Chain A
Amino acid sequence: DTGVSQDPRHKITKRGQNVTFRCDPISEHNRLYWYRQTLGQGPEFLTYFQNEAQLEKSRLLSDRFSAERPKGSFSTLEIQRTEQGDSAMYLCASSYPTSGTTNTGELFFGEGSRLTVL
């Protein structure tokens, strides 16, 4: 078990460019989450998947952001026409629910992909 893997670890881009981040969750986990974290703040929810279905997307999320999980395994988060305000750490997490309907809440986070928009 190698844990949650994110790539790239750091991306520097110019304003207006598109960027894509990839997340490989722990293999038996069927839930995958994307969060954004800026300095001095907690992780801000962006979206999450159960298998390949995107269950919820934050209303705060611009249409420039899109996430996919085509085969229920890895996921990509794309940001189009990046802005300086998009500079942040993008965290991916995965989890596996216990039996029944209860989410245990234990999210296993990757080390994040840091985006710097110049």
Chain B
Amino acid sequence: QKEVEQDPGPLSVPEGAIVSLNCTYSNSAFQYFMWYRQYSRKGPELLMYTYSSGNKEDGRFTAQVDKSSKYISLFIRDSQPSDSATYLCAKASGYSSASKIIFGSGTRLSIRP
């Protein structure tokens, strides 16, 4: 079983819609989760991070972690064409400063104008 499982999509929604992206994880030794965004032909860039469970909001983006179900979600409100990208969920593996970051397979998102 992969440490992070993610629905690959693709997902296509109209501009202004609310987008929900989801991942499940295993091996929850260290409760640190991230969402990265990757545009075509570019390296990933950090969008949001969160420790433990609960919600974290940043502008139009909300990251949510449900420890009981081992579920990670990213919500995008008022989606824009510029949000079209691949979204990667990630988690720290291990429980020390030597932990590496493990990525899901990514969900390709397209926002239709």
Binding site for B on A (CB under 8 A): 4, 33, 35, 40-45, 48, 50, 55-56, 91, 93, 97, 100-107, 109-112
What is the distance, in angstroms, from B35's C-beta to the closest C-beta of chain A? Answer: 10
CB contacts (< 8 Å) of B105 on chain A: these are 40-42
**Residues A50 and B106 in contact, CB atoms below 8 Å apart:** no
**Known pairs A45-B103, A56-B100 / 5 extra A-B pairs, C-beta < 8 Å:** A43-B88, A56-B98, A100-B97, A102-B32, A107-B44
Q: Give chain B's interface residue range (CB within 8 Å of chain A).
A: 20 to 34
Which of B4, B44, B49, B90 is packed against the most chain A CB atoms within 10 Å? Answer: B44
In the complex, which of the residues A33, A43, A44, A101 contacts B96, with contact meaning CB atoms closer than 8 Å? A101
Bound CA span A44–B42, Å: 16
Bound CA span A33–B105, Å: 18
Binding site for A on B (CB under 8 A): 4, 6, 8, 32, 34, 36, 41-46, 49, 88, 90, 92, 96-106, 108
**Residues B6 and A42 in contact, CB atoms below 8 Å apart:** yes
Known contacts: A40-B105, A42-B103, A103-B97. The answer to whether A109 contacts B90 by CB under 8 A is no
Known contacts: A42-B106, A110-B43. The answer to whether A105 contacts B88 by CB under 8 A is no
CB contacts (< 8 Å) of B108 on chain A: these are 40
Known contacts: A41-B105, A43-B88, A103-B32. The answer to whether A33 contacts B43 by CB under 8 A is no
